[in-house]
Amino acid sequence: MSQAWQWITFLLAGLGTFALRLSFIEYYRSLRIPPWFRRALAYVPASVLAALVLPAVVYQDRHAAFDWSNPQIPAAILAGVMAWRTRSTLLTLGVGMGVLWALKYWGM
């Protein structure tokens, strides 16, 4: 494939992606979405975040294992409890990172 075709492919893929995202943003209000589906859409950001974070926490050295010697697991659990109780993003990040650093410092 020549360099010109690569650039054309990149531009078309970018325009296609932009058009798809713009269509959802631009036409969302005019769509007739049932109330139950709107309520379900409220959970999408949390589920996407969980899908991104969980593999980073559980996979240590490219092996999936729920092992308490992995310091990321107790730190993530405590951060989750902190988020649930306080609803504070900064406090959740602070507690999660503080616990993780403390566990790594003490060799756990």
Contacts of 57 (CB under 8 A, 6+ apart): 70, 72, 73, 76
Sign for the pseudo-dihedral over CA of 46, 48, 49, 53: positive
The per-residue pLDDT for range 30-89, each reduced to its tens digit, is 778 888 988 998 899 889 988 988 888 888 777 777 777 888 889 999 999 999 999 998
The token duo for 29 is: 């209000």
Mark whether 68 and 91 lie in a shared domain.
yes
Number of structural domains the chain divides into: 2
Residues spanned by the domain of 98: 45-108
Mark whether 61 and 99 lie in a shared domain.
yes
Mark whether 76 and 107 lie in a shared domain.
yes
pLDDT at residue number 49: 86
pLDDT at residue number 108: 67
Mark whether 20 and 53 lie in a shared domain.
no
For residue 99, being part of any structural domain is answered with: yes
For residue 89, being part of any structural domain is answered with: yes
Cα-based angle 84, 54, 61 (whole degrees, multiple of 5): 140
